[in-house]
Each structure stands twice: as C-alpha cells, then as structure tokens.
Amino acid sequence: MRRYVDYNLCGLNNPKTIQEAEFPFKIIKCTNCGLVYTNPQPDRKLIKDHYQEDYYKEWIEKQMNRRIHMRERRLRDLVKYKKSGRTLDVGCGVGTFLKRSKEKGFEIYGTEISDYACKHAEESLRIDVFRGELEEARFLPATFDVVTVWHTLEHLPDPMAALREINRILKKDGLLVVAVPNLNNYITRLLYLLVKRKKLMLFSNQAKAWHLYHFSDHTISSMLEKAGFDIIKIDLDLVQLEPSKITVDFLAVIFHFVTRKNYGEAMRVYAIKAKKNN
C-alpha cells in the first residue's frame, strides 16, 4: 500500500519533480518553500514492517561498538546545554543513546515503532520503551527537559505533527535536539558519482532506510520555527561508522571550518521553545 501526499512546509501545493525513483516513487520539491519529499510514500504499516530484524541486525552484530561511540559523542555535546533531567528519545531504536543517558544521570523514556528494536532494548539493555508513534504515547504537557530525535524525523509520514507534539510535551525551558541527513551532502554525492559512476538516489524502495523527507538547513529550520521553536545552533552531525567512509566526515569538517557551510552527510539542530509560546 502507498499513500500520496501533498504535504508542504508552506501549506501551498507547488510541486516539481526533481528525481525519478522506482515507479511510482518520485522526489518532489515545493517550488515555494523548498521542502523536498518522497511521493508517494509507503503507508504506516509498510514502514513499521520495514524496520524490524533485517534493519537492526547489522547494527547489533557488526556496528554496536562504533554506534556506542557515536552516541557518547552526541551525549557529550548535549550536556553542554542540559546536564540532567527527564529525557525522551523519539525513534530510540535499540536504546543505545538512552542507556548512555541513564548512566549520565538522566531519567530516560523512549518511543519506537519497531517491535524488534523495542524487544532488544528491553531484554538486552533493561530499558522500557513505548511501542508506537510519539503521538500515541499521549505524554502529559510539559513533561520532558530534553527530547532527542536522532535520524528519525526523515522517516516519519508527518514530521510537522511530531515536532508540534514535541513542543507540547517539552518543558518551558526544555531542549530539543534533532539530527537529520543533509540534502546538501555534496561531498557524499561527488564521491558516490566517482566510485559508482551514477548519481546518488534520495529514495529507493530497495534501500535499507526509507527517507520520506529530505532536509536542508533552511527547510529544517523553517519547519522547527513553524512548529514553535527557536533555533540555538545548527552543526555538523558526524555519522560515518565504516572506516572506509570516515573520509566524508573529515572533509565535511574541513569545508565547514573554511566556509562555515555544511556539505557533510548530516546536520544537528539544537532548539528551544519559542518565547512567544511560553
């Protein structure tokens, strides 16, 4: 099953096809606000079924130590803004970030649609996770000091709805941290073209991860602001785990230092609730 969307950040319907994927999937760009998204999209059941054992098995068996190191690095950056409190990780996967947060003194909560990932978190890490989408958890208003969304927003059928829900459940002085793939990942695109002799596709039905939305620093900032947040900082998010791909992060750091622009694989945004909403 597939669902066609005319969702746009600006609320207008000015679509332009910028990339063709396997039929019937296309990459659409709104010519008004610049938001890029996949259309049509797999329905929610297909998305849930996609992120089960086959998706997480490599994480657990081959990448766990490297992923733990990445989570620790992210946590070190986060505590510069919030050192303690009640934290929620949306799309928490197998719970690695939550485990490290608990060890740092945070009171932890998580949501995750994958039954397999939830089971692993509960059995291996002794972490209780809400099984389902964020809105289904029905947390009370102003519950959390920190909400993190590590490479989950791009997978959601309605990222704006999720961000508005986060705004509702975040405390007045709470912190939101969102990491997403970077649409302007020119370093990866160039290297992929040189090695594979073809352009990098933004969506493939055969891909391990289905990205339904494709954010630039402009569109992620605009979406957060529309959902009721003020941006504190936008930074690089260094995500490469394989030694052969670490060159991408290295080059991204150099280009960012020289140009102050992010041409790397991902970006990380720190935000607080807008003062007008407090």
Query: How far apart are the C-alpha atoms of 44 and 155, rounded to whole Å?
Result: 10
Instruction: Retrieve residue 69's tokens.
Output: 């190191």
Query: How far apart are the C-alpha atoms of 75 and 77, rounded to whole Å?
Result: 5
- Kindly give the confidence (pLDDT) of every residue in the chain, 278 residues in length, as a single tens digit, with 9 standing for 90 and above: 567 777 668 877 788 999 998 889 999 999 999 999 999 999 888 999 888 888 888 767 777 777 888 888 999 999 999 999 999 999 999 999 999 999 999 999 999 999 999 998 998 888 889 999 999 999 999 999 999 999 999 999 999 999 999 999 999 999 999 999 999 999 999 988 998 898 999 999 888 899 999 999 999 999 999 999 999 999 999 877 677 678 888 888 998 999 999 999 999 999 999 987 66
What pairs with residue 17 in β-bridges?
Answer: 28
CA 233 to chain centre: 16
Instruction: Retrieve residue 166's tokens.
Output: 């986060």
> Given 3.40.718.10, 3.40.228.10, 3.40.50.2300, 3.40.50.150, which CATH number is that of 2-277?
3.40.50.150
**Model pLDDT, residue 189:** 92
Beta strands in the chain (DSSP E): 2-3, 15-20, 26-30, 36-39, 41-42, 86-90, 107-112, 130-131, 144-150, 170-181, 213-214, 229-236, 266-273
The set of long-range contacts for 63-69, using a CB threshold of 8 Å and a minimum separation of 24, is: 63/241, 64/96, 66/241, 67/96, 67/241, 68/96, 68/100
What pairs with residue 38 in β-bridges?
Answer: 27
Residue of 72, 71, 70, 104 lying closest to 87 (CA atoms):
104
Global pTM reads 0.93
Cis peptide before 40 (omega within 30 of 0): yes
- DSSP, res 91: T
Q: What is the 3-state secondary structure (H, E, C) of 129-164?
A: CEECCHHHHCCCCCCEEEEEEECCHHHCCCHHHHHH
